[in-house]
Amino acid sequence: MSKPLLSKEKQKAIAQEQIKSLFAQAAAVFSQDRALANRYVTLARKIAMKVKVRMPREFKRQYCKHCYRYLQSGTNARIRTRAGKVIISCLECKKFTRIPIRQKK
């Protein structure tokens, strides 16, 4: 077994950059080709799992946790606030995610 060419820190930094660019590409191409945008989300998730890096919070909320589709407010997602939570409804699979709103101290 040979040593990896890059250190783990460099691998994680490269993975973060790739995830960021894949989500930017998904946002750019979503209006023309939704399947391609969903593919970009799948690739970003696979990269994050392979390198064992956490998906950043801003990107976690841009895809459905149930069907892994790219979400864009108004077209295939509904975002509401209710009882101290943000509720993101996926209109593709009809599931929803509740995210608590933090109170500032």
User: What DSSP string describes 91-105?
Assistant: TTT--EEEEEPPPP-
- pTM here is 0.86
pLDDT tens by residue, the chain, 105 residues: 566 677 899 999 999 999 999 999 999 999 999 999 999 999 999 999 999 999 999 999 999 999 999 999 999 999 999 999 999 999 999 999 999 998 877
- What local confidence, expressed as pLDDT, does residue 5 receive? 75
Q: Any idea how long the chain is?
A: 105
Domains of the chain: 8-100 (1.20.5.420)
